[in-house]
Chains A and B, each alone.
Chain A
Amino acid sequence: SAVISQKPSRDICQRGTSLTIQCQVDSQVTMMFWYRQQPGQSLTLIATANQGSEATYESGFVIDKFPISRPNLTFSTLTVSNMSPEDSSIYLCSVEGAGGPRTGELFFGEGSRLTVL
């Protein structure tokens, strides 16, 4: 399984500011995924990030609010822009297993817990 490191692990932010979350993987992967887990809720996919192309956003999520970078095959960032208390969530980075899309399984980082005051 892939080892996924996220930074920061947690942060407290002020309303109106932006925060960038980093995701580093110990192996090259084609697709990286960003999920949001609101308090007491399940996981919702924000976007899929492929290296060298624009991220693909799910319904309800827009690039202006959640810009994503994918500069190489082991790294991605998610920025939460102009934060409000409703953005308080755990944000998780995810990648596919070593077998790629054929295996279907995803592995997750430990998440970045953001609290917006």
Chain B
Amino acid sequence: AQSVTQPDIHITVSEGASLELRCNYSYGATPYLFWYVQSPGQGLQLLLKYFSGDTLVQGIKGFEAEFKRSQSSFNLRKPSVHWSDAAEYFCAARSGGYNKLIFGAGTRLAVHP
């Protein structure tokens, strides 16, 4: 069955430190891949997406993600975390435009001053 796995439920980093959030997918073929962020009391905002081509994609708010086919991974990174980055991050995948978007369980990020 198609699935998206985020192994880390909670991550805490210090402000200014680097960040990497892990995401693995299980699909028959490479799906469309996405990262969304949900701030407290807010809806979901799309950070970035991967469809094909360059395996390193840039997103908003200084985030980037790297697609690795051999590892079935799409990890999210940020070189220097800001306190405002504290939120819930969801990795998601979709096998095609007419198929449903499947979400991972989410990773809650806390940022210490």
Interface residues of A (CB under 8 A from B): 1, 4, 33, 41-45, 48, 58, 92, 94, 96, 100-111
Contacts and interface: CB of A to CB of B under 8 A. Distances in A.
Contact of A104 (B36, B42, B96, B105): B96
Contacts of B49: 104-105
B50 to A, nearest CB: 10
B43 A92 contact: yes
A100 B97 contact: yes
Given A43-B103, A96-B97, A105-B32, 5 more contacts: A4-B43, A42-B106, A92-B44, A94-B101, A105-B49
A94 B100 CA distance: 11
A45 B101 contact: yes
A111 B45 CA distance: 12
B100 A105 contact: no
Interface in B32-61: 32, 34, 36, 42-46, 49, 51
Interface residues of B, number: 21
Contacts of B100: 33, 45, 48, 58
Contacts of A1: 46
B67 interface: no
B103 A106 contact: no
Interface string B71-112: 000000000000000000010001011101101111000000
